[in-house]
Amino acid sequence: MASPGSVLFSLQTKLIVAFALVVLAALALAGSIFVFLRRGEQEEQELDHVIATSPAIYAEFAFLQRRGDPEPVLAEFVQVAAEEHDVRILLVDRTDGTVAADSAGGLTGEEVVVPEEIRQTLEQPVRGQPYVSWEPGAASDLILVSALPGRLGQFRQIPPRGAEPFWLVLAVPEETVARAWLELLPALGVAAALALPIAVALAVLIAQYISWPLQRLTVASQRMAEGSFDVQVSVDRRDEVGRLAQAFSTMARRVGEAHSQMRALIANVSHDLKTPLTSILGFAQALRDGGARDEAEARRMGGVIYDEASRLTARLNDLLYLSELESGQALLQRDEIDLRRLVESAVRRIEPDLAARNVRLSADLAEGLTLSADGGKLERALENLLDNARKYTPDGGEMRLRTYVDASGACIEVVNTAPDVSPEELPRFFERFYRRDRTRAPGGGSVGSGLGLPIARDLVELHGGTLEASLRDGEIAFIIRLPLAP
């Protein structure tokens, strides 16, 4: 069971947090862009709202002014209207911009700046423009808003325009307009409150989809660490995670095979070492204790000790040589090799045993076939093939050798009678440490270390060639293919 700490710092948790942060960042960015784009619109809407809430003020003021009411009456109207509608109202002299009355009292007698374009709009309103707004000065924190006369006819009958001496101006704090965009925040907050839980739920699903195969890989890795290699991570996906799971399953299978082969090697090598060591120790002890009846008996015991020590040396040499090949430390010392002479030399070593067992041997060796190769290593590969054929050819059987050239290069073919080899067993011949049943080796009794054919294949591949095996009507054929040029 996973600990709270491992869950907290798991990939799934990090993915969920990352998705949530991305969503929050996206919402914040989108909200900022939306507010930036809508800010001017919101400010205009705020000014529209200010004008829309005070139409009666402008209508009444226009009526009083066109009726000819004096300044004190207009000033009193400004004060009453400001209190009634909760707005700040300025009465501005149109000739010089002096504030004749201020409902807040702060600007009375002061002069406000009226830009020329604003003055022209107030004097000659643009059709369809409901109001005009401006800032009276850089030091002011107010925005002045004035409804245009064309908007007032809908409220009541107003006397005809004359030379009205004053403008009625609403004074709106600049901060009120500038903060109009804050009205967008509740809607954005609602959108975030709805989007974030959905995003987190989707993040959980996506994180589980991504991390579930990785969790299975983790469990499989733990099983492998405990020594169980029979693991299969089945993930029906074609992305990188799916390929990782497939690669892991392949790795686990190969590691398991290598582990099984290594255990088989240890068992086989232990047996192969134990038998000659037992003989060596037994006869050595007999010699030490004077167990030999005469000199001939002593020589026989010494010969057994020598033969068994030679077997031990051969096994150890095979292991060391295979290790050298697998580590890439083996180097080739190429020379021009006469293939016919090399094959004849190797055949001569097995002819006495074949003759003793009535095994027929035929050779069809091409004349003048030479290639650049390491003679010693190529001869050892051929000896391993011939020794394997010698051991598994039954008494009275047949062995054939042939050298020739085809499109792939120089070829050496070794064929022997092998009635008991099945197609299923054939691919295993080149597995390291694979050894057949000892009862199937009529020639020589011992089936060796299980390294002969793998070493032969590695030596051939070191030359840039291939070693293949096939079955032919009760026979097995091994073919070495070597390039004519290195």
Mean pLDDT of 389-408: 90
- The first and second tokens of residue 419, run together, are 């009635």
pLDDT at residue 152 above 80? no
Q: Is the pLDDT of residue 403 over 90?
A: yes
Say if residues 134 and 170 touch (Cβ distance below 8 Å). no
pLDDT of residue 415: 93
Question: Looking at the predicted structure, is the pLDDT value of residue 157 above 60?
Answer: no
Q: Is 296 exposed, middle or buried, given 0-12, 13-18 or 19+ CB atoms closer than 10 A? A: exposed
What is the pLDDT averaged over residues 458-485?
A: 90
In this prediction, residue 39 carries a pLDDT of: 56
35-49, 95-109, 291-305: segment of lowest average pLDDT: 35-49
Average confidence (pLDDT) over 166-186 = 66
363 closest CA partner among 374, 373, 376, 354: 354
Q: What is the largest CA-CA distance in the chain?
A: 160
pLDDT of res. 148: 64
Among 19-28, 174-183, 461-470, the range scoring the smallest mean pLDDT is 174-183
Average pLDDT of the chain is 77
Is the pLDDT higher at 128 or at 32?
32
Quick one: average pLDDT of 44-72? 75
Q: Average pLDDT for residues 324-332, to the nearest whole number?
A: 75
- For residues 46 and 215, which has the higher predicted lDDT (pLDDT)? 215
Tokens of 444: 């020589």
> Which of 268-277, 352-361, 387-396 has the weakest average pLDDT?
268-277
Mean pLDDT, residues 320-329: 74
Kindly state the average pLDDT of the residues 215-229: 78
Q: State mean pLDDT over 247-252.
A: 81
Of the two residues 372 and 211, the one the predictor is more confident about is 372
Gap between the Cα atoms of 123 and 148, Å rounded: 9
**92/84 Cα distance (integer angstroms):** 20
In this structure, what token pair is assigned to residue 202?
A: 């989707």
C-alpha to C-alpha distances, 432 to 166, 387, 405, 428, 466, nearest whole angstrom: 110, 17, 29, 9, 17
Give me the sheet containing 409-417, strands edge to edge: 360-364, 398-406, 409-417, 475-482, 466-471
Q: How confident is the model at residue 416 (pLDDT cuts 50, 70, 90)?
A: very high
* Percent residues over pLDDT 70 in the chain: 78
Instruction: Give the best-scoring range by mean pLDDT among 136-150, 258-272, 273-287, 331-345.
Output: 331-345
Q: Which two tokens stand for residue 43?
A: 């400010």
Kindly state the tokens that stand for 108: 């009375």
d(CA 311, CA 243): 47
Mean pLDDT, residues 78-82: 86
Query: What is the DSSP code string of 267-313?
Result: HHHHHHHHHHHHHHHHHHHHHHTT--SSHHHHHHHHHHHHHHHHHHH
DSSP E strand stretches across 212-266:
none
For the chain, domains (ranges, CATH) are 1-228 (3.30.450.20), 240-326 (1.10.287.130), 335-482 (3.30.565.10)
Which residues are 372's β-sheet partners? 336
Confidence of residue 161 (pLDDT cuts 50, 70, 90): very low
State what percent of residues in the chain have pLDDT above 90. Answer: 10
**Sheet containing strand 99-102, strands side by side:** 99-102, 88-93, 166-173, 142-147, 131-134
The whole model's pTM is what?
A: 0.47
Residue 154's pLDDT is what?
Answer: 43
* pLDDT band, residue 474 (cuts 50/70/90): confident
pLDDT, average across residues 307-330: 77
Q: Average pLDDT of 149-159?
A: 46
Lowest pLDDT segment from 147-151, 194-198, 356-360 = 147-151
Write the pLDDT tens digit of every residue in 28-50: 777 777 666 655 565 566 666 66
Rg (CA), the chain: 52
For residues 97 and 3, which has the higher predicted lDDT (pLDDT)? 97
Q: Cα separation of 440 and 393, whole Å?
A: 9
pLDDT for the residue numbered 158: 44
pLDDT for res 153: 46
